[in-house]
Structure 1
Amino acid sequence: MKTNKNILAMLLVITGSSLLGGCVTSQPNLYQWENYEPEVYDYLKGSATDPQAQISSLEEGLQRIKSEGRTPPPGYYAQLGMLYAQAGKADLVTGAFQAEKKLYPESSVYMDFLMKKKK
């Protein structure tokens, strides 16, 4: 008899936890990644298309991120800046690095280093 009560109590606890767990709403992602990860992966493994194609892809993703009022992940603007430099778009490099610094102040030292190196 006591065993049946223990089993019943355990089943009630499990059922109650399952029901309450199902009511939890998920937190939205902190960052919106869009196509950033595959682009960086291709870039790092050396199978990337030309820089202009990557720039276009990342700029499109950035527009979608901004239109939804979301935040790009750390490194998004830095990657764009590196691609701008590789594509010879020197006028856009500093702006991208400054945007990265503003959004992620902890990247300031590295962004400053890259901006000095650019000169």
Structure 2
Amino acid sequence: MRGGGVRGAAALAGVLLLAGCAAPARPLYQWEDFPRRQYEVLQHAGADPNAQIQAMQVQAEKARAAGAALPPGFRAHLGMLQLSVGAAGQARASWLAEKAAFPESAPYMDRLLERLDGRPAAPAGGPA
């Protein structure tokens, strides 16, 4: 009985050692400095919108190259920045991409697209 306990402890130690050597889990999204950038815009303390758009496009390219996913809200925020500099077509594309990547964002993206098209948005709580 005593020998079995020692072997069991040795096996457990081996499993724990191997688990400690496992590669860390890869993050679900490639956030980089997106939260900081978004905060700066919302506080009106951020950089020029064109510079922010460029930085976000660089982040999107890096994510694509790494096979990583962009975080929720990334494309929506990019669309807002694009609209702020008069690039309505690019904003539309970004919002449609956000809607495709995160279907739960559809009601909000639909409202933004309706406003972009000059259509009145559906009342809150109603069909979007």
Q: TM-score, normalised by structure 2?
A: 0.76
The equivalent residue for 1:40 is 38
Instruction: Please report how far the alpha carbon of residue 24 of structure 1 lies from its aligned counterpart in structure 2 after TM superposition.
Output: 3.6
CA RMSD for the aligned pairs? 2.0
1:83-102 → structure 2 map (5 Å cutoff)? 83-102=81-100
- Please give the alpha-carbon distance, in whole angstroms, between the structure 2 residues aligned to 1:71 and 1:21: 26
1:1-119 → structure 2 map (5 Å cutoff)? 16=13, 19=17, 21-118=19-116, 119=118
- Matched-pair identity in %: 34
Which AA in structure 1 matches 2:109? M
Q: Which runs of 5+ in 1 are unaligned?
A: 1-8
Question: What secondary structure sits across from 2:26 in the alignment?
Answer: coil
| Structure showing greater relative contact order (alpha-carbon pairs closer than 8 Å, 6 or more residues apart) | 1
- Please give the alpha-carbon distance, in whole angstroms, between the structure 2 residues aligned to 1:45 and 1:18: 47
Q: TM-score, normalised by structure 1?
A: 0.81
Higher helix content, 1 or 2: 1
The C-alpha deviation readout for 1:20-73, integer Å capped at 9, x for no partner, is: 552343210000112312211111222111110110110110010011111100
- Runs of 4+ in structure 1 over 2 Å off: 15-21
Q: Which runs of 5+ in 2 are unaligned?
A: 1-5, 119-128
The C-alpha deviation readout for 1:78-116, integer Å capped at 9, x for no partner, is: 000000111111111110000000000000000000111
